Structure 1
Amino acid sequence: MAGPAPVEAAVTAAASSGFTATTRSERAAALVALAAALERASAELVAIAAAETHLTPGRLSGEVTRTANQLRFFAEVIEEGGYLEAAVDRADPSTVPPRPDLRRMLRPLGVVAVFTASNFPFAFSVLGNDTASAIAAGCPVVVKAHPGHPLLSRRTAELAREALAAAGIHPDAITLVEGMEAGVELVRHPLVTAVAFTGSERGGRALFEVAASRQQPIPFYGELGSINPVVITAAAASADAASLAAGLVEVVTRDAGQFCTKPGLVFVPAGHGFAAAVASELASAPAHPLLTDGMTSAFEQRVSALSRRDDLAVSRGPGDADARPAVVTADIAAFLADPDALLAECFGPLTVVVEYTAGDDLLPALGHLPASLTATIRSAPDEDVTWLAAILSPRCGRLVFDGWPTGVATGWAQHHGGAWPATTGSLHSSVGASSLRRFLTPVAYQNAPESVLPAELHDANPLHLPRRENGRLVPAARG
């Protein structure tokens, strides 16, 4: 099944691939093989991606490396085995009520639908984090290709299927579909057990409702909109406003601001020259084409609407090309008078700088913040920002101190999530080891004969897993 297929054929093929019965070691080997195939074809794939997305070859080459590293990371996660949450409670007739023999672990859900992102054509696309974590969990994947890079999606899927076959895995563990109608049909398909989506709040909400309205509703893990607020304290601005301004402009304009973690709203104390320093940095920030014409049009409409307001100042990068970087400056009174207008996410190189005069002004403004993937505090060394962290931490999935939030490292401790509208479920992450949890479901075995138990739950722990036995954590045994 090379290239995109009808939804029915793609889902049926994935469900019939036998992939859920593979072992952890088989899946780990497959993930490593996928990483190697991606790296071998890097030059070819980067050339296709550059032509379709306008992103630079240097950026895309780095993203290929990140994607290959993600695949290898998940191989390590499943080989370690702790993600299974294996637990054994042996029978104890002395408890009240008497406890039977209970053994529990996580099992793969089944076919997962993955909707790819436009802004990361490798790291969140056909072999991106959602696909990698689903494959690691033991779930076959049907990928809904993004229309912004169809040729890249087809070629990547073709290489992935070849790599799976060479690793002894049925290639239908990864299939590909295309088109908006196919996406809706995919979410509705009765064999699809979960959906991972990265994209707009509008598109994600529509598909979320489709998933919830099925006769058998399924989980929909959507990463949607995020404003990613930054709070700069007076002490930090006094220490180095110019450096902070340069850093902000750099992260907002990097790759034309097309990051889900781009800082879209910055609170800064008035009177420290920060806004002027940002305008100075912006004067040399060049325009960069956005991923699609539709995104460019939406960006320009947003900038034009803000420019028409008398209570806002809008500065732009040099020249007259579309998608020139833009910074909107407002005082705290303008923000509080109409917060929704300044809290709407804008995809592209735009950020809003709100000047406050005192902590008393800042507090009510922070109360308007929606949930975001990230929030950031820029403070002076040894400054006590406990109060600020207490306000921001419930409003984000990751709280960043004295840095910028645009890098999302893959690791065991990473959390890339947040409450609505950042995601459809704040309990789960779309990056890091815990992202596997989205595609797993627990099953408990009561008084089961060992012959029917998975090896992970056998008394002797033959696979040497870390697990909990009679309530105590037992580290992995050496093989």
Structure 2
Amino acid sequence: MEATAQEVDAAVRAAHAARGALADRAVRSAFLRTAAAGLDAARDGLIETADAETALGPVRLTGELARTGYQLRAFADIVDEGAFLDVIVNHPDDTATPPIPDLRRYKVPLGVVAVYSASNFPFAFSVAGGDTASALAAGCPVVVKAHPDHPALSELVAEVLRRAAAEHGIPEGVVGLVHGFEAGIELIRHPLVAAAGFTGSVRGGRALFDAAAARPVPIPFHGELGSLNPVLVTEAAAAERGETIGVGLAASMTLGVGQFCVKPGLVLVPSGAGGDRLVKSLTDAVSDTEAGVLLDHRMRDNFVAGVRERARLEEVDSPVTPGAGGEHTVSAGVLSVPAEKLAEEGAYDLLLEECFGPVTVVARYSSEGEAAAVLSRLPGNLTATVQLSAEEAAGEGRGPGLLAELTPLAGRVVVNAWPTGVAVAPAQHHGGPYPATTSTSTSVGGTAIERWLRPVAYQNAPAALLPKELRDENPLGLPRRFNGVLER
């Protein structure tokens, strides 16, 4: 099933040839809605195949498939609205210094987008996932590199998208699909690929990122690589509701057998009675969690080896020991360490790296300065969470300062909630400083479309030659900024 270099080339060239068929925004949005309807119609077979390949379970997969259809429809709405084109028109102004000529600016699609599927979201971050949906919405054909954990599902979903394309006169090559490690390398190097989206490991993502930058013509690479997703619990919050926080943390870190990119992997908990109650509540809840199956044996082996290596560190305790469950399962667990061990560079840096699976590290801090020292050493993250007391949440004490302290660490700052459960919404941001992502963009939410566009301005172009989107009379009724005034 491994694609050859010739097959990758054929898929990319077919996608490139389909660009013109996506030029009409009405056709594009109709295609996306038909694709969503096609996924709905094929739901039973898709979920059965997905469960056979991933063991994620029908309940989880049903919800994820619904989310995937929602994303496609949401991007169709964005295409119809047209604000993503960012139309700006400036008429000439000879009184300005320097004089302003006639300038008209909007955004155009980049071209063929390479999409690298994720293992842990076989629908929402795979063939018809957010990268594909946003790229098609931008007017960019895609070639998807299927994840090896769900190859049969990838073929089925690609076929749904191709049938939807054909219904609207779009060549089926608008969605290409290739399999295999070498195919992924060939794809990122192909001269007709204009950008790439990736969700996966730091190692794999960084290799592709470097390959994208090393091309004769470098291309944008929007990669989501890894995230620890730290949580800071204030002393006041632990005293006020430590037990509740512990239960919520257990639910978040074990959700989906800990296989979410926003799983809270490091939790700063104060010393003292409030923190003790939190840790007891957490350990009790995690102890009651059933063993679960990870997506493949490679991930299971990495998890078992990773938690074993961390637990061997001096002064690391295991209130609930994570590791191998049955032959195919893993048991959730909690590791605990004094926060001072993480405040300086050394062997304990391993605890500041993501461990994919159902485990979290609780770092007990004895002062605000100690907690701040640990936070200052963290790399970029998708999320950072703070648990505040009612008084702090009302703006008293440390509340406002803590948000400012956490903002440089992550793309989404969560207050008195948990990072798992990434809503698909216009204001969502799913990205963060490196190594969380390789760019400042989001892969979830409406603004994900911006990754696949570039601005172009026309100067002194005759009206008859201008794209319809840039004409004074605004025949398409687009939102725009016209001579400095925002029109909707």
Counterpart selection for 1:316 from 321, 332, 356? 321
Match for residue 342 of structure 2? 335
Question: How far is 1:363 from its partner?
Answer: 1.6
Identity of aligned residues (%): 48
Equivalence map 1:160-171=2 (5 Å):
160-171=161-172
Question: What corresponds to 2:51 in structure 1?
Answer: 50
Q: Which amino acid aligns with 1:421?
A: P
- 1:238 equivalent in structure 2: 239
Contact 1:286 1:318 in 2 (8 A): no
The Cα shift of 1:20 comes to 6.0
The question of whether the paired residues in 2 share the 8 Å contact of 1:108 and 1:138 is answered with yes
**Residue of structure 1 equivalent to 2:364:** 355
Deviations 1:257-295 (A, max 9, x none): 000000000001112222222221122111111001000
3-state SS of the aligned residue for 1:404?
Answer: coil
SS state at 1:6 partner: helix
CA distance in 1 between counterparts of 2:486 and 2:455 reads 18
Residue number among 426, 449, 473 corresponding to 1:460 in the alignment: 473
Q: What's the offset of the Cα at 1:319? A: 8.5
> How do residues 125-274 of structure 1 correspond to structure 2 at under 5 angstroms?
125-271=126-272, 272=274, 273=276, 274=278
Work out which of the residue numbers 362, 380, 397 in structure 1 matches 2:411.
397
Displacement, 1:409?
1.0
C-alpha deviation, 1:98, in angstroms: 2.3
* 8 Å contact kept, 2:115–2:132: yes
Does the residue aligned with 1:323 lie in a helix, a strand or coil?
A: strand
| Deviation per residue, 1:410-460 (Å, 9 max, x gap) | 12111111111000012x111111111110011110111122211111110
- Residue 448 in 1 paired to residue 457 in 2? no
Distance 1:14 1:364, change over 3 A: same
Given that 1:285 and 1:317 are in contact with CA atoms closer than 8 Å, whether structure 2 keeps it comes out as no
* Alignment coverage as a number of residue pairs: 472
Please list every run of 5 or more consecutive structure 1 residues that lacks an aligned counterpart in the other structure. none
Instruction: Find the counterpart in structure 1 of residue 374 from structure 2.
Output: 365
Alpha-carbon offset, residue 306 of structure 1: 1.5
CA 84–320 in structure 1, closer or farther in 2 if over 3 Å, else same = closer
What CA deviation, in whole Å up to 9, does each residue of 1:339-389 have, x standing for no partner? 521111011101101111221221211111111000001111131311111
Inter-partner Cα distance in structure 1 for 2:424 and 2:465: 36
Deviation at 1:310, TM superposition (A): 2.6
Segments of 5+ residues of structure 2 without an aligned counterpart are none
Query: 2:432 corresponds to which residue?
Result: 418
Change (3 A) 1:319 1:175: closer
Instruction: Tell me how far apart the structure 1 counterparts of residues 190 and 140 of structure 2 sit (CA, whole Å).
Output: 16
98 and 65 in structure 1: CA distance in 2 versus 1, 3 angstrom threshold: same
**Whole-angstrom CA distance in 2 between matches of 1:406 and 1:117:** 17
1:287-329 Cα deviation digits (max 9, x unpaired): 1110010000000001111222231012236994342112111
Once the two structures are superposed, residues 145-189 of structure 1 have per-residue CA deviations (whole angstroms, 9 ceiling, x without a partner) of 000100000111011101110122221110101101000000000
Residues 304, 324 of structure 2: 8 Å contact kept: no
CA distance in 2, matches of 1:460, 1:367: 53
Match of 2:86 in 1: 85
Native 8 Å contact 1:299 1:348 kept in 2? yes
Does 1:285 find its partner at 2:289?
Answer: yes
CA distance in 2, matches of 1:382, 1:85: 42
Q: What's the CA shift string for 1:27-73, capped at 9, x where partnerless?
A: 11011001000111111000000000010100000001000000000
Matched residue SS, 1:51: helix
Structure 1 residues 21 and 27: alpha-carbon distance in aligned structure 2, compared to 1, 3 A threshold: closer
Q: 2:452 aligns with which of 431, 435, 439?
A: 439
**Relative to 1, partners in 2 of residues 1:240 and 1:466: Cα closer, same or farther, differing over 3 Å?**
same
| Aligned partners of 1:282 and 1:316 also within 8 Å | no
Alignment partners' CA distance in 1, 2:269 and 2:465: 62
Q: Structure 2: which amino acid aligns with 1:217?
A: P
**How far off is 1:6 after superposition?**
1.2
1:298 aligned residue: 302
Contact kept? 1:286, 1:317, Cα under 8 Å:
no
